[in-house]
Amino acid sequence: MSRPLTAPLSAQPSSATLTTLLAEERTFPAPEAVAQVANLDAAAAEAWRQRGVEDPEGFWAEQAAHLDWETPWNTVLQWSPPTFAEGADVTDPLAELSVPSARWFDGGTLNAAVNCLDRHVAAGHGDRVATHFEGERGDTRTITYADLLAEVSRAANALSALGVEPGDRVVLYLPVIPETLITVLACARIGAVHSLVFGGFSAEALRFRVADTTAKVVVATDGQFRRGRAVPVKAAVDEAVAGLDHVEHVLVVRRTGEEAFAGEPIPWTEGRDVWWHDVVDTADTAHEAVAFPAEHPLFIIYTSGSTGRPKGLLHTTGGYLTHARYAHWAHFDAHPETDVHWCTADLAWVTAHSFAIYGPLLNGVTQVMYEGVPDFPAPGRHFEIIEKYRATTYYTAPTLVRACMTWGDDVPARYDLSSLKLLGSVGEPINPEVWMWFRENVGGGTAPVVDTWWQSETGATVVAPLPGATTLKPGSATRPLPGLDAAVVDDTGAEVQPSQGGWLVVRRPWPGMARTVWGNPERYRDAYWRQFAVQGYYAAGDGARYDADRYLWLLGRLDDVVNVSGHRLSTTEVESALVAHPDVAEAGVVGVGDELTGQAVAAFVIPSRRSVLDDDDAHPALEAALRQQVATVIGPVAKPKHVVVVRDLPKTRSGKIMRRILGDLLEGRAPGDTTSLSDERAVDAVRDGIAARR
């Protein structure tokens, strides 16, 4: 959460009264065929869970042992919990509190890139495909583990030659191309700290991150392909780094060539700017890697910015790699000989760090990498790619699945998707009806949908089903992974009863946890550790509830809860009720001030049919139908007072709805920080929708 939890505990909203009414009864046991070959079947999963509870440090030590360590660790965990100064009033938000510190596998040394590449090549798997790259225009590259090792070694030599030392920051402003992966691993190899910035962000958003990390080198492309067009990038990079003296070099990958510059020469600063093909392609393919301490910084990742200014979370090496490898192996049921794993997230998002870069490479699987968007040149591009590469795992975000649903069932039906073994979802709660559609139309009616709850802060997955063991329920992320102690608690830190809502917390440190907010340890302490400092719990900022089987249901951010006459309603539940209506493609729900009820539910909906969107006269009927829908599915208390029909919703680049902007616009305020928006025009779309009602 970006708003530090500075209110005294007693003034926090009372989570125990969170009203949760949405009921979901459908269950799907693990398919026999999946269970039989799974890394963890039901019995193993239970044993692992038990071990995680009884001996958590022993559990994580076993997981860490799957990596190659140059030097073994001395201690598994050294944990200094947040501690109040003696005599402090713990309810005072300004009470003196120490910054917590976790050190995992202290004394151990390892090299991240060696673990991702060299050891697979040394084990005789150099010929295995690491990445099937598919460019937006259909250009392809097949890169084996041996190829990737050679390329990464070159880039490592080149970065060192440019003066990059261990601990220096390198910012990557790149599309989803092989050079991005190569640069990430090259940084890791030489102990430099990488920070990826989404290639579609503005110069301003890039500048903030380059300055915040005081990066020494920025890696970018000359231009990018976007929906078939070549657009220039380099000028934006120049603007972003102007006057930042710490930036010594801009390393430029030629992607579009002159096409993006309409015949003009690319803007170039002699001495500072260097071409990739001049310095990397000519470098030596041999590179002797050295090992770094387990707590050596690996990367800085900025949160998606749904709730405010992004935070730069720092992740370190040994613990993060241990968690990412384990999570990918367990909930994606990794099988290196047969897997063709595809995580569709942009590489700059934490999802891709753990499940398109480190997790899958540590497990030695084959992956798919795609540069473009899902609906260019036509809806179905993703399905075409799944068919072409016989992908076995398809891990994406609910927003994309909802978009697929509007394209129609016939789009996935045109492709052979029979290779898919598992589906995955991340980024937002997946609405039960969307889950069902995904399983049915993309997963052939049998593929388990693995809904993974986690955050930039957690490093890798905290709550997710195990496909060979867990009975699934549509819309539930099910249970914490073995070894992770996530729970739902009330304001006092006590675990809530089944069917009650509360705060999602993690009660014990875990190896993938972010170690700090870059340059701002106090923000780290206050945002995540102050609220439950007495208990020493990590507060995720999300709400959740248990059902009778102790499954977890994510309810959205507790910041977003709508309080109607004392009933605290989850935005997620209201949105799920809305998208279950056939005429709704997407819905964003916020609370807005109301004289009578304190807050009222405001629903912003994108109709699933263009004809409904364009016909203003059809809106009143739709609004009435949706009020009825919510009243039936959840209860009259959740009925939206305002229903706004819109053609688009403001989202972060990772596809999350930015609810605070909806509230700002409806209540006539200027929207706050919008630098994380994927498309600024969505703000106008919402304004138009609001204006049309008046």
Binding site for ligand ATP (CB under 6 A): 2, 303-307, 310, 350, 426-429, 451-453, 455-456, 477, 540-542, 554, 557, 654, 656
**Least Cβ distance, residue 538 to ligand ATP (angstroms):** 12
CA distance 674 to 307: 10
Q: Which does 399 bind (CB under 5 to 8 A by kind): ligand ATP, Mg ion, none?
A: none
Structure token digits, residue 415: 């492709």
Q: Which is nearer to ligand ATP, 150 or 662 (CB)?
A: 662
Reference 274, options 224, 233, 246, 234; nearest CA is 234
Q: Which does 451 bind (CB under 5 to 8 A by kind): Mg ion, ligand ATP, none?
A: ligand ATP
Q: Which does 317 bind (CB under 5 to 8 A by kind): Mg ion, ligand ATP, none?
A: none
**Least Cβ distance, residue 201 to ligand ATP (angstroms):** 14
Task: Give the distance, in angstroms, between the CA of residue 468 and the centroid of all CA atoms in the same chain.
Answer: 24
CA distance 330 to 451: 13
Q: Which does 345 bind (CB under 5 to 8 A by kind): Mg ion, ligand ATP, none?
A: none
Is 347 in contact with 182 (CB distance < 8 Å)? no
Is 630 in contact with 638 (CB distance < 8 Å)? yes
Q: Which does 554 bind (CB under 5 to 8 A by kind): ligand ATP, Mg ion, none?
A: ligand ATP
**Least Cβ distance, residue 678 to ligand ATP (angstroms):** 12
Is 219 in contact with 162 (CB distance < 8 Å)? no
**Least Cβ distance, residue 175 to ligand ATP (angstroms):** 19
Q: Which is nearer to Mg ion, 303 or 316 (CB)?
A: 303
Name, in order, each residue with C-beta under 8 angstroms of 596's C-beta and a sequence gap of 6 or more.
none
Interface residues toward Mg ion, by CB under 5 A: 303
Unique residue bearing structure tokens 């498309």? 679
Q: Which is nearer to Mg ion, 303 or 322 (CB)?
A: 303
Closest-approach residue to Mg ion (CB): 303
DSSP 325-360: HHHHHHHTT--TTT-EEEE-S-TTSHHHIIIIIIHH
Q: Which is nearer to ligand ATP, 381 or 656 (CB)?
A: 656
**Least Cβ distance, residue 554 to Mg ion (angstroms):** 13
Unique residue bearing structure tokens 């640069």? 183
Q: Which is nearer to ligand ATP, 307 or 322 (CB)?
A: 307
Is 179 in contact with 213 (CB distance < 8 Å)? no
Task: For the chain, report the end-to-end CA distance as a whole number of angstroms.
Answer: 34
Give the H or E element holding residue 253.
strand 249-253
Q: Which is nearer to ligand ATP, 157 or 452 (CB)?
A: 452
Q: Which does 305 bind (CB under 5 to 8 A by kind): ligand ATP, Mg ion, none?
A: ligand ATP
Is 420 in contact with 391 (CB distance < 8 Å)? yes
Q: Which amino acid is at 366?
A: T
CA distance 371 to 390: 18
Q: Which does 367 bind (CB under 5 to 8 A by kind): ligand ATP, Mg ion, none?
A: none
Q: Which is nearer to Mg ion, 256 or 303 (CB)?
A: 303
Q: Which does 304 bind (CB under 5 to 8 A by kind): ligand ATP, Mg ion, none?
A: ligand ATP
**Least Cβ distance, residue 165 to ligand ATP (angstroms):** 29
Q: Which is nearer to Mg ion, 190 or 590 (CB)?
A: 590
Q: Which is nearer to ligand ATP, 645 or 682 (CB)?
A: 682
**Least Cβ distance, residue 554 to ligand ATP (angstroms):** 4
Reference 301, options 367, 351, 250; nearest CA is 351
**Least Cβ distance, residue 513 to Mg ion (angstroms):** 14
**Least Cβ distance, residue 484 to Mg ion (angstroms):** 17
**Least Cβ distance, residue 423 to Mg ion (angstroms):** 24
CA distance 511 to 518: 18
Task: Give the distance, in angstroms, between the CA of residue 597 and the centroid of all CA atoms in the same chain.
Answer: 35
CA distance 319 to 509: 11
Q: Which is nearer to Mg ion, 283 or 552 (CB)?
A: 552
**Least Cβ distance, residue 464 to ligand ATP (angstroms):** 8
Rounded to 5 degrees, what angle do the CA atoms 1, 297, 334 make? Answer: 80
Q: Which amino acid is at 532?
A: F
Q: Which is nearer to Mg ion, 303 or 363 (CB)?
A: 303
Q: Which is nearer to Mg ion, 334 or 350 (CB)?
A: 350
Using CA atoms of 146, 150, 153, 157 in order, give the dihedral in degrees to the nearest 10: 170
Q: Which is nearer to ligand ATP, 115 or 654 (CB)?
A: 654
CB atoms within 10 A of CB 180: 27
Q: Which does 429 bind (CB under 5 to 8 A by kind): ligand ATP, Mg ion, none?
A: ligand ATP
**Least Cβ distance, residue 640 to ligand ATP (angstroms):** 21
Coil, helix or strand for 110? strand
Structure token digits, residue 59: 């559990």
What single DSSP character describes residue 311? P
H helices of 94-177, where? 112-113, 119-120, 145-161
**Least Cβ distance, residue 524 to Mg ion (angstroms):** 13
Burial of 204 (0-12, 13-18, 19+ CB in 10 A): exposed
Reference 465, options 352, 341, 552, 396; nearest CA is 552
**Least Cβ distance, residue 2 to ligand ATP (angstroms):** 5
Q: Which does 599 bind (CB under 5 to 8 A by kind): ligand ATP, Mg ion, none?
A: none
Q: Which is nearer to Mg ion, 330 or 514 (CB)?
A: 514
DSSP 202-229: -HHHHHHHHHHHT-SEEEEESEEEETTE
